[in-house]
A and B are shown apart, each in its own frame.
Chain A
Amino acid sequence: MSDPSQVKIRVEGITRRFETRGREPVEALSRFDLMIGDGEFVCIVGPSGCGKSTFLRIVAGLLRPSSGTLAIRAADPARPTCATVFQEYSIFPWLTVAGNVRFGLEVLGVPRREADERAGTWLEKVGLHTFRDAYPAALSGGMKQRVALARALVVEPEVLLMDEPFAALDAQLRLVLQEELLAIWQEWRRTVILITHSIDEALVLGDRIVLMSARPGRVKEVIPVPFPRPRSGEVRNSPEFRALERRIWESLRAEVVSAEREGE
């Protein structure tokens, strides 16, 4: 149902400035261009503060660009265009696990019974069905992030946006959730934009890696990931993987260093 030759998201010359009273305006994004194909999994890496979250918020429609345009080709008017998994935990403490997952469906006006069923299905896929009636306070960080993932996926968005979804998790759990996401995506095949600090994660998950420059952020390099699908964490074992990881890190390091200089 997805067709990678078709453009899903077209980003043209996006700029975003932030004006704070009594301070110099910050230019977070500068002339950002990118094409994303339908059903493509794109990972964005870049130094901290380079405007990755800003870009994602613009795609999600939470923030408008200062100039430029971004067009998303929405094929199915019945489905939400985007759903987001945020950088910080964003699940509501006042709703149960199932209530959180149902939230988006309720907003869409899905009948209660169907919403319950769909929420149940996704909770099972992320392994949280036994916690459906628990409140988030009783969950670990990894479980909370699974809830956030299920909440975004259950509405079947055309584009899934993820802002460092696993950044707060320990390394082992991160690997587990990466595998889960990989399995889910390989079955589900929608357009995904995932922001990450980890080149390793980007190489395991993505079709292409977008490397951003230090602030003001723009596309420094787009690297296709050559490993065949379906993939698993095993790809890490190949020498090509290590070589590519090293090459991307060289390029990224230059930006991280220049971002640090700027900060001083």
Chain B
Amino acid sequence: MALAEAEQRDHAAQARMVLREPGPQERDARRWQQRRWLIERSLAAGVPLVLLALWQAGVWAGTIDRRFFGSPVTVVQTALRLIETGTLQSHLEASVYRLLMGYGIGVAIGIPVGLVLGQIRLARAAFEPLLNALYVVPKLALLPILLLLLPGREGPLITLVAVAVFFIMAISSLAAALMTPAGYIDVARSFTASRWVMFRRVVFANALPQIFAALRLASGAAVLMLVGSEFVAASSGIGYLVWHSWSLFLADQMYVGIITIALLGVLFSALIGVLERFSVPWAASEGFKGNG
């Protein structure tokens, strides 16, 4: 008995309380959310600003060579001048036009092709290897041929962007379509859904989150392809501005171009994000979004 009691006390000494209590997030949900929002926004804005300040400080201290790297202050001055003369706008306009046309065409063909290949076994057997083989061919290598085959200056550039986007969208959509859980297919089939209804209401809906991930990837690839081809085969556009400035050794002007491209990429990605929030409402509350 005494032994049992002693053991009891031992246990008591070892015991520790595991608590489940509200944290700051639960105690004042609104304030916590506001605080988190503020912290996140400050980080998003603060990190680039700090980097810019370091850049400028480096130039002033002489550790960064102004001839190659410019400086934030002179870059901004150059940008203002380019905007005043309208040069930047006209280049931007040319690039945005090619980007949207190419991206739109690539997406409009790529998604249906991928999803349809996902539905039809024989089509998949026929085209999937080809798709994968062509995907790895560097598209920029097609530029000389396209320049020869297609009339005009815009056609080849737009086509190139469209091709790059097409492959990413088609391959991702195909993979997404193939991952439709059998349970959902069975549900739709048990309601005797037609192939089209199955496709639209189940396969496409289920693939949407992945399609959006692919849209983001493709937006980056589209900008990359556009700038690359403007380097070599255009006399307008942001890519041309960058290349042209560099060959004239105008570092500041080149950075204006590079930063414009970066901003274009950010804006593009943000637009897709907005579209995603509207198109995939069910993804908002589902899953773990990280809270570290």
Contact = CB atoms under 8 A, between A and B. Distances in A.
A75 B11 CA distance: 6
Contact of A75 (B14, B21, B22, B27): B14
Q: Which of B15, B18, B25 has the most CB of A within 10 A?
A: B18
B14 A72 contact: no
A92 to B, nearest CB: 15
A73 B19 contact: no
B285 to A, nearest CB: 7
A67 B16 contact: no
B14 A77 contact: yes
Q: Which of B8, B20, B22 has the most CB of A within 10 A?
A: B20
Contacts of A66: 22, 26, 29
A70 interface: yes
A74 interface: yes
Contact of A20 (B17, B25, B285): B285
Nearest to A159: B18
B23 interface: yes
A254 to B, nearest CB: 30
B26 A70 contact: no
B277 to A, nearest CB: 11
Interface of B: 8, 11, 14-23, 25-27, 29, 285
User: Which secondary structure characterizes the binding site on chain B?
Assistant: mixed
Q: In which size bucket is the chain A interface?
A: 20 to 34
Given A19-B29, A20-B285, A75-B11, A65 B17 contact: no
A81 B19 CA distance: 11
A118 B140 CA distance: 57
A64 B28 CA distance: 13
Contacts of A19: 29
A53 to B, nearest CB: 15
A59 interface: yes
B20 A61 contact: yes
A167 B16 CA distance: 34
A86 to B, nearest CB: 15
Contacts of A61: 18, 20
